[in-house]
Amino acid sequence: MNKIVISGTGLFTPSESISNAELIACFNAYVEQFNQNNAAAIADGSVTALEPSSEAFIEKASGIKARYVMNKSGVLDINRMAPDIPERSDDQPSIMCDMAVAAASQALERAGRTAADVDAVIVACSNLQRAYPAIAVEVQTALGINGYGFDMNVACSSATFGIQAGVTAIVTGQARAVLVISPEITSGHLNWRDRDSHFIFGDACTAVLLERAENATSAHQFEIVGMKLKTQFSNNIRNNFGFLNRADESGVGKPDKLFRQQGRKVFRDVCPMAAALITDTVQAQQLNITDIKRFWLHQANLNMNLLISRTILGRDATPEESPTILDTYANTSSAGSIIAFHKYQADLVAGDVGVICSFGAGYSIGCVVVRRLAA
């Protein structure tokens, strides 16, 4: 197979961030307001009182200290508790298009490429803002790429699955180079009134440029040496929002139309699956786990990453071996492992091998083994 490389990465980070302290102040104010407004019903047992939360609880449960969001004021308004993002006219670029163009432009610049060098755009994310036309086709047009684009959704594993699709397109001759872009406005699907999950997500967008090694000129090349994908159906992470909701109005506005999960079950199921897939993918390339210099894991939960790396290595991973970005970004769904890869790759030298791994709803797990090439 022709060698395919990641020749550039890009990252769009929103300008606004919410600290745990700010989030807890809002959430606890909402809890107090709810309990006061429902005091009589709580007293007679027909309504359950809400419990306040704390910064210590959030950090212990997740390792998250803050999260970037596209809109802060709406989230922290206790009478709204959702981002305030005005709808744009059809003649304006969508907000996801703006995010994608920013990240993609950075990836192209880092790779030393222009839109004329790219034939395909894959927008791979878990939170698409509309059904059609595809965000990818809008982004393709905005960038001035003469080729094709399509959207795909494999939840938090979308970026790694998108890399697989991009590599296939290049190998089969469908494209010279492919942009895989993951714009995530996770703040829009999050239930900010749910104590167990309101702190989990943040917004961001990543971009990865894939091309043949023989054509690449970037000083930041990583050869893709192996990939493996796995899915297994589970309802333990789910969001029932969709166009069929209008066919049964009784469900409109119900909590299941936002993100929900059974966290303990997810932890129990996904950690061993991810560890096994990483090990299998590495070994399939005639490599040992000890050959892996860095693990860019999905940034969903610090405790999950600690357990996965401990299972793989037989010991705790160092911060250098398994870098963390979720403390400041929170869970950015499909963008998380790519943010870690983007931010923590410069110190690797030619020959160093690393693993990009994402995992989430589906269940879905994507694993990509990469090797740093000489500049």
Residue owning tokens 């049964």: 248
Q: Of 223-227, 248-252, 354-358, where does mean pLDDT reach its minimum?
A: 248-252
Strand bridging mode 120-124 / 148-152: parallel
CB 5, CB 373: distance < 8 Å: yes
The pLDDT value recorded for residue 1 is: 53
Q: Which of 214, 232, 202 is nearest to 11 (CA)?
A: 202
CA distance linking residue 54 with residue 196, whole number of Å: 11
CA distance linking residue 372 with residue 173, whole number of Å: 24
The answer, yes or no, to whether residue 246 has pLDDT greater than 80, is: yes
Residue 97 catalytic? no
Strand bridging mode 203-212 / 4-12: antiparallel
CA distance linking residue 64 with residue 41, whole number of Å: 34
Q: What percent of the chain has pLDDT over 70?
A: 100
Burial 276-310 (b: 16+ CB within 10 A, else e): ebbbebbeeeebeeeebbbbbbbbbbbebbbbbbe
**Mean pLDDT, the chain, integer:** 96
CA angle, corner 227, sides to 117 and 346, nearest 5? 65
Across the range 226-235, mean pLDDT stands at 97
CB burial class (10 A; 0-12, 13-18, 19+) of residue 214? exposed
Residue owning tokens 């983007």: 342
CB 197, CB 206: distance < 8 Å: no
The pLDDT value recorded for residue 375 is: 77
CA distance linking residue 326 with residue 361, whole number of Å: 18
Q: Which of 26, 125, 156, 367 is catalytic?
A: 156
DSSP E strand stretches across the chain: 4-12, 16-19, 66-69, 120-124, 148-152, 177-185, 203-212, 222-231, 237-238, 260-261, 292-297, 353-360, 364-372
Segment 296-348, tens digit of pLDDT: 999 999 999 999 999 999 999 999 999 999 999 999 999 999 999 999 999 99
Segment 142-159, tens digit of pLDDT: 999 999 999 999 999 999
The pLDDT value recorded for residue 2 is: 78
Classify residue 158 as left (phi > 0), alpha (psi -120 to 50) or beta. Answer: alpha
Name the CA dihedral angle for 318, 323, 328, 330, rounded to a multiple of 10 degrees.
Answer: -110
Q: At what angle do helices 135-143 and 95-111 cross, to 10 degrees?
A: 50
Residue owning tokens 């789910």: 238
